Amino acid sequence: MDTVARFEPRRPDQAAEAVLHPDAKQQLAVTATYLLSEEGRKASLLSGGNGRALQEVTLHVPANRLHLVAVDANGRAHLKLRPRFSLNDEQRVVKIDAPPTYDAPPSIEDLFREAGRNHQLEHAFHAERSAERRAQREAEQQRRDEVASSFLADPTQRARRRPTPTPQRCFIDTPDGHLVFDVRHDRGTARLVPPEAYRRWRADIRARDEWRERETAAQLASHAQKKQAVAEWVAQHGTPEQQARQAAGFLPMEEVIDAMADQAFAAGNAFERYACDGAARLQEQLRQLPQYENVVVTPNHITIFNTDAVGATAAQWALMEQLRQVFPNATVTLREHRVSWKGHAEAPTLTKHGVLVTCKVGPFDLRREYAAPET
């Protein structure tokens, strides 16, 4: 029976040392890939080669040149020829995702020289890109600090309402778009933006709620004042039937306001009231034209644009003066009403004028418009 010899186990530190400090005489089989131009392919055929554009050769790289070798995840070793790095016209290192191209089959030293040059330029390329990224980060941080300082110094600025600001995160609008501020990622002044934006947002909500409460209270008080004024007017000037409906709570406030207006403007009953007959008047005007002789214009087919008149004829001014004498405590305004036909921009428009008289009776602003002479 044969005996088995016992071998001493190899210590892990010895294996690591063998990997980190390989024997200088050791060599590694490496694949070098390059391209041949048309001239290079001709030269390859003349020298007995295969003349292909893509060439792959196997080299033996000594251990002291392993920095020129790249090994992929599958354990395949390649000479560092792709990607290729070179200097452009601006003396900046650019990356080219293609192997080098030769006009003649290169020697082994040519390939080593190209790989060494590629190795050096690769380091320069990554150093340049790292410097650019660092400069970009610094510029972005400076921009964020400027936006943050401006936001914190100006109490009128607000974060975007959507998404809703939180103490940890908010969005700020800038001329170049919105910026996201997050206390978990920002530093310096930028970290102070989300809490301040949230505080301002909550303060705006409280102020808006308080304003709504004040407006509601003011409207309720005004309505109560108007109800009291209506009750007093009905008790003093209303008919028995109106007084009975008021007592039962069935008298509309609008009816009382109309009756109050009739009483307030009784002195102007001799003047003609303004008539809201724009549709009929426009139809009459259009039918005088041959292309519109059969048109039908209803109130639903017109648009009325009302403005204060910028000029007045002598007759219109005389009417305004008469109304001022009749209603010395009222406001008298000449109004212009332009009536147009919906959907027919090319059709002529109608312009009417009226004199609006406004007076104050208790809590009510009563209005009545009188027809003004047309040109």
Domain boundaries, the chain: 22-131, 265-371
> What pLDDT, in 10s, does the model give residues 126-147?
888 899 899 998 999 999 999 9
Q: What was the pLDDT predicted at 238?
A: 92
Long-range contacts of 114-118 (CB under 8 A, 24+ apart): 114/34, 114/81, 115/32, 115/68, 115/79, 115/80, 115/81, 116/68, 118/80, 118/81, 118/84, 118/85
Beta strand 54-62 with 27-36 is: antiparallel
> What pLDDT, in 10s, does the model give residues 183-233?
999 989 999 999 999 999 999 999 999 999 999 999 999 999 999 999 999
Q: What was the pLDDT predicted at 23?
A: 56
Query: 76 pairs with which residues across the strands?
Result: none
Nearest to 348 by CA among 316, 311, 302: 302
Nearest to 358 by CA among 346, 370, 368: 368
What is the identity of the amino acid at 22? P
Please check whether residue 39 is in contact with residue 53, taking contact to mean a CB–CB distance below 8 angstroms.
no
Q: What was the pLDDT predicted at 7?
A: 41
- Chain position carrying tokens 């069935």: 250
Q: What average pLDDT does this structure show over 107-132?
A: 89
Q: What was the pLDDT predicted at 24?
A: 52
Q: How far apart are CA 178 and CA 170, in angstroms?
A: 10
* 348 C-beta neighbours (distance < 10 Å), count: 14
- Residues in CB range of 227: below 8 A, 6 or more apart: 253
Q: Assign 96 a pLDDT band (cuts: 50, 70, 90).
A: confident
